[in-house]
Amino acid sequence: MPIHETEQELNEMLDEGVHVEITDIEEGAYRLRVVVDDQACADCLVPDGTLESIASDSLRRRGAQVTSMSVEHGP
């Protein structure tokens, strides 16, 4: 499954205490949620645009069509 594999790839890249969840909103549209635990360095995150690009590229490499990717931060 492209979403699960992409989440795993991104989570392996990120610092400890930071993880992402990807949701398929509709055909080709995805939401990338970034969750930062209290002990993680929130200021150390790469910019949202970079995360969007990495996630979109990863999904495309796995055969998914990506027309949009939004990033949100939350618990």
Kindly give the confidence (pLDDT) of every residue in the chain, 75 residues in length, as a single tens digit, with 9 standing for 90 and above.
899 999 999 999 988 889 999 999 999 999 999 999 888 877 778 899 999 999 999 999 999 999 999 999 987
Asked whether the beta carbons of 20 and 35 are under 8 A apart, the reply is yes
Burial 38-74 (b: 16+ CB within 10 A, else e): eebeeeebeeeeebbebbbebbeeeebebeebebeee
This model's pTM is above 0.95: no
User: Which domains can be identified in the chain, with CATH numbers?
Assistant: 2-73 (3.30.300)
